[in-house]
Structure 1
Amino acid sequence: MPRTDGGFLPSRCPRIGSVVAREDQSGGVQVTVVLTKKQLKQMVAAMGQERSARAAGHRLAASPTMEQVLLSLRRRHMKRGEKGQCRSRWRPELQSIPEEI
């Protein structure tokens, strides 16, 4: 995928799980992931449960780790990009802007 001016690799479907990656000069990769509020709450709750379980000496097998959640989002994003599914939820209603003379 071609890069834009800032070195970013934009997602094909910016409204569906936006993921933007950029390589810096040192070879590091900066990734920006856009989540819904619901997804963020689930991730924070899972992290809290995992932290509590570690403090108690237990391991929660059922709760996903942050890495698993991000991997799941990345897979979903890649599948949608391959299929070319770019559904926009918002469409402008105004066809043209009238100009005053």
Structure 2
Amino acid sequence: MGVHAGTDFKDYSTTVGAVNGSAYTDYQVKDTSKADGYLDSYNVGGNYKVDARMTASTGTGSWVRIDDNMGYFIPNSITSGNSTTRMQFSNDVTTPVNVQVTGKWASN
């Protein structure tokens, strides 16, 4: 746990709750205002897909659909220096089970 610099990749492994559940990564400090973050998704469990976005006290980003073994740019409106920057993951309302997600990300 802890806050990491936004230009450093930080591993994540978390469980997204069933039926529109959410999960979050640890925090990073945003380095550059409104710069796209980057998420490298290793695994989204059970052949499901989840949505991901960057969120913080000074803004948020658009939801991006993620899958196994793919990289994604994560647009956002978060300002530099924000230490509450993190990734949020969300399951579909039709997903009846918890879904494990793993990978790494940087807020930039």
The TM tier, using the shorter chain, reads under 0.3
TM-score, normalised with respect to structure 2: 0.24
Structure (1 or 2) with the greater strand fraction: 2
Rg comparison, structure with higher value:
1
TM-score, normalised with respect to structure 1: 0.25
Which has the higher relative contact order, 1 or 2, with Cα contacts under 8 A spaced 6 or more apart?
2
